[in-house]
Amino acid sequence: MTPNIQIIYASQSGRNQAIAGHLQAQLASKAQTVITEISQADAFELSQSDAIIVVSYTFHDGDLPDEAQDFFEDLKDVDLDRTKFAVLGSSSKTHLHFGRAVDYLTIQLNSSNGEQVADSVKIDRDADDDDWARVDQLAQRVLTSLA
Ligand SMILES: Cc1cc2nc3c(=O)[nH]c(=O)nc-3n(C[C@H](O)[C@H](O)[C@H](O)COP(=O)(O)O)c2cc1C
């Protein structure tokens, strides 16, 4: 059966939204995909997906984006029941705490009993060819985990 994958993104200036769109294009032939902006995502429904991929920038001083806070708080009350997941995001090495939101989300999704199926990927601002290759590898790992 075709797996369903939810891609959840937080993006202010478009980089992470573009990564989410790229992921959807990569996965489209092998999975049913839905993209959700993070403030619209329901943490309590995540386990209905076969896998989730969370894409987020980092804001403030190494923190989650404001619009990701509710989702993150709700995750603390969720049992993902071993739902497969992966996390990635574009943030910026010009800041002290590079990509810290990726770390927080990775830790919380593990704590919420998710099954991490790919190493988390941090991208410095605009993705270059190597970064896109890492994004594609992450997508492939998610697909392989569902096969
Ligand atoms: C006010 C502000 C604070 C930021 N703080 C951080 C930070 O602490 N760590 C980090 O890695 N990037 C930080 N960034 C950089 C963004 O995460 C980065 O520009 C990212 O690529 C934006 O993604 P988007 O285009 O999807 O919004 C900050 C950006 C802004 C505007």
- Give the domain CATH number at 113: 3.40.50.360
User: 35 pLDDT exceeds 90?
Assistant: yes
Retrieve residue 9's tokens: 């993104």
Task: Give pLDDT tens digits for 1-20.
Answer: 899 999 999 999 999 999 99
The SS3 assignment for 108 reads helix
Whether the Cβ atoms of residue 93 and residue 124 lie closer than 8 Å to each other: yes
Residue nearest to atom 30 of ligand 1 (CA): 59
Ligand 1 and 48: CB distance under 6 A: no
Ligand 1 and 89: CB distance under 6 A: no
Residue nearest to atom 7 of ligand 1 (CA): 62
Range of the domain at 25: 4-146
What is the predicted pLDDT for the residue at 2?
95
The whole-angstrom separation of Cα 141 and Cα 132 is 14
pTM above 0.95, yes or no: yes
146, exposed or middle or buried, with CB in 10 Å at 0-12, 13-18, 19+?
A: middle
Task: Give pLDDT tens digits for 87-135.
Answer: 999 999 999 999 999 999 999 999 999 999 999 999 999 999 999 999 9
Provide mean pLDDT across the span 47-63. 98
Pocket test for ligand 1, best of 91, 103, 121, 122 (most atoms within 8 A of CB): 91
Retrieve residue 108's tokens: 């919380």
Pocket test for ligand 1, best of 87, 92, 124 (most atoms within 8 A of CB): 92
Q: Which atom of ligand 1 is nearest to the CA of 93?
A: 11
What is the predicted pLDDT for the residue at 1?
86
3: amino acid identity, one letter: P
User: 27 pLDDT exceeds 90?
Assistant: yes
The whole-angstrom separation of Cα 122 and Cα 104 is 12
Please give the tally of structural domains in the chain. 1
What is the predicted pLDDT for the residue at 139?
98
Exposed e or buried b for every residue in 58-79, given b needs 16+ CB within 10 A? bbeebebbebbeebbeebeebe
Ligand 1 and 91: CB distance under 6 A: yes
What is the predicted pLDDT for the residue at 70?
98
